[in-house]
């Protein structure tokens, strides 16, 4: 009598359905490929660069060039005289504003030419007189805020607002990148599950095929036909399950390899350990600490600061403003000689105070009330966000602990089903067991393997979700 050899359970479970392939692909290799080639991820990484450019432009203290020119022609007519004035004026210079101090510095050069023609009629005699005047001056002006923006106190709020926007954009980039890569990781788990199901059904089909080949050694002549019919039907049943699992795996491989443009997903086996127990040190009491450390809560803290700043900026606009203006000017003038106008024989000093007081402040009061309403809305949103994260994380903690217990139970069930199948195999080989009962033991073993695979998939998915919410997934861009 022949002895039938069956493959052991866990050896088959640790091998993917494509175990015949020499190479395998890991999640790390897939993520490395995606970070280098994905247009979507590359677009995500451009986000903070816009905020960095805005911030760089806001804090820059560059010089600015300005110029303007003007021409004016005036004519005055009286009963016996008439005047015609032609004036051209050109000014150019540079100015610079320091947002850290609120001081504005301006230096400029101005050139002016005036040409006058005077006509006088007396006793039918016409008299004409012409004169030309040239003026040139160089001016330096400094505007220093005294009240409302002394030492740049108010203007620095705008810089602080830009910095908040920059940090918020960086957090949003990390969150978006994390969500994208976490989605890839979830898909990879789906691929691993499909491969494991294909492996389990392929092993079951192989056992059914072995049973059909060796049925003549397990039955007497009068039962051989009936056993052969049983074995053939069971082989077709297992072949159908294996084909369906293989089709699902290939569909997943084709979809992911096409979407991520990574051919290895179609040709190589996914390397993963679905049945590895994870280490979780967090407790329900530590959930609040984990939440406060997340980028999501840090982003809300930045939003809160931005709201407070916007309110202070509205108050700044509503307050009176007092500026000290200092001017120093060197000028020269000459008639009929342009070059002598540069002799600069005149120097002028000027000190002024500019005061501005907004009346009514209706717009400012409305803006302040609006910020107060936004603050109430923000506080409600922050509380709801924290409560939602608490509920989700505590639910995941319970699911993970239950998942560990379920996986342990499922592993025991697989061991028991394997042991029962091996005993039935020996009994069948000795002629002490009906083939139908042996087929049931094969089905029980396959069902136990698939149930363990499903439980492991749920467990690993919950663990990945917990890591994602608590920002324990790596989102660093590739070097």
Residues 279-292 have pLDDT tens digits of 776 777 788 889 99
Rg (Cα) of the chain, in Å, rounded? 42
At 125 the pLDDT is: 66
200 neighbors 13 (Cβ within 8 angstroms):
yes
3-class DSSP state of 283: coil
- Mean pLDDT over 33-43 rounds to 86
Residues of the chain above pLDDT 90, percent: 32
Residues 166 and 48: beta-carbon distance below 8 Å: yes
Contact predicate 89/70, CB 8 Å: yes
Please tell me the predicted confidence (pLDDT) of residue 6: 23
Measured in whole angstroms, the distance separating CA 246 from the mean position of its chain's CA atoms is: 36
388-406 pLDDT, tens digit each? 999 999 999 999 999 999 9
Which one, of 162, 158, 149, lies nearest residue 101 by Cα? 149
In terms of pLDDT, which residue wins out, 94 or 83?
94
SS3 285: helix
- Looking at mean pLDDT, say which of 12-21, 209-218, 270-279 comes out highest: 270-279
Give this prediction's pTM.
0.73
201 confidence band (pLDDT: 50, 70, 90):
very high
Lowest mean pLDDT among 216-220, 233-237, 300-304: 216-220
The total of other beta-carbon atoms located within 10 Å of residue 12's CB is 20
pLDDT at 477: 47
Top-confidence residue, 235 or 217: 235
Average pLDDT, stretch 71-90? 80
| Between 167 and 223, residue with greater pLDDT | 167
Cα–Cα distances (Å) from 110 to 74, 133, 134, in that order, read 21, 14, 11
The SS3 assignment for 448 reads helix
Cβ distance 111 to 89 under 8 Å? yes
Q: At residue 38, what are phi and psi to the nearest 5 degrees?
A: -75, 120
Q: CA 293, CA 283: separation in Å to the nearest integer?
A: 15
Q: What is the 3-state secondary structure (H, E, C) of 394-424?
A: HHHHHHHHHHHHHHHHHHHHHHHHHHHHHHH
pLDDT of the residue at 232: 84
- Cβ within 8 Å of residue 469, ≥6 positions away: 294, 389, 392, 393, 396
From CA 251, how far away is CA 190, in angstroms rounded? Answer: 11
The torsion angle over the Cα atoms of residues 226, 227, 228 and 230, rounded to 10 degrees, is 90
Measured torsion, CA atoms of residues 15, 19, 23, 25, in degrees rounded to the nearest 10: -50
């Amino acid at each position: 009598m022949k002895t039938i050899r069956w493959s052991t359970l866990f050896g088959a479970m640790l091998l993917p359905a494509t175990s015949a392939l020499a190479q395998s692909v890991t999640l790390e290799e897939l993520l490395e490929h995606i970070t280098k080639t994905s247009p979507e991820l590359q677009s995500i990484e451009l986000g903070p660069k816009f905020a960095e450019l805005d911030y760089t432009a806001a804090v820059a203290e560059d010089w600015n060039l300005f110029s303007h020119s003007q021409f004016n022609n005036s004519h005055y007519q009286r009963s016996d005289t008439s005047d015609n004035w032609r004036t051209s004026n050109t000014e150019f210079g540079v100015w610079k504003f320091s947002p850290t101090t609120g001081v504005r510095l301006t230096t400029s050069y101005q050139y002016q030419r005036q040409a006058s023609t005077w006509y006088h009629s007396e006793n039918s005699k016409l008299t004409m007189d012409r004169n030309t005047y040239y003026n040139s001056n160089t001016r330096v002006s400094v505007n220093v805020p005294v009240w409302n923006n002394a030492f740049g106190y108010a203007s620095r709020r705008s810089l602080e607002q830009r910095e908040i926007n920059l940090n918020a954009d960086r957090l949003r980039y990390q969150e978006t990148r994390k969500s994208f890569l976490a989605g890839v990781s979830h898909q990879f788990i789906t691929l691993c599950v499909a491969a494991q199901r294909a492996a389990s059904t392929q092993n079951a089909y192989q056992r059914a095929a072995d049973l059909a080949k060796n049925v003549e050694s397990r039955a007497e002549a009068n039962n051989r036909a009936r056993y052969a019919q049983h074995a053939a039907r069971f082989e077709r049943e297992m072949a159908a399950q294996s084909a369906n699992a293989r089709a699902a795996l290939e569909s997943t491989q084709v979809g992911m390899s096409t979407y991520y443009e990574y051919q290895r997903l179609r040709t190589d086996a996914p390397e993963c350990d679905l049945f590895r127990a994870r280490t979780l040190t967090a407790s329900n009491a530590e959930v609040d600490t984990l939440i406060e450390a997340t980028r999501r809560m840090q982003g809300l803290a930045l939003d809160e600061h931005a709201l407070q700043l916007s309110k202070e900026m509205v108050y700044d606009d509503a307050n009176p403003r007092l500026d000290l203006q200092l001017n120093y000017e060197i000028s020269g003038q000459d008639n009929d000689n342009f070059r002598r106008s540069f002799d600069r024989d005149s120097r002028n000093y000027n000190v002024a105070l500019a005061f501005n007081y907004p009346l009514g402040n209706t717009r400012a009061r409305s803006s302040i009330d609006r910020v107060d309403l936004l603050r109430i809305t923000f506080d409600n949103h922050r509380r709801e966000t924290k409560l939602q994260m608490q509920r989700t994380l505590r639910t995941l903690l319970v699911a993970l602990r239950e998942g560990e217990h379920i996986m342990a139970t499922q592993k025991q069930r697989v061991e028991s089903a394997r042991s029962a199948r091996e005993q039935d195999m020996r009994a069948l080989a000795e002629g002490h067991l009906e083939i139908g009962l042996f087929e049931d033991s094969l089905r029980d073993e396959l069902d136990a393997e698939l149930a363990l695979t499903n439980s492991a998939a749920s467990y690993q998915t919950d663990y990945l979700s917990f890591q994602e919410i608590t920002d324990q997934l790596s989102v660093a861009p590739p070097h």
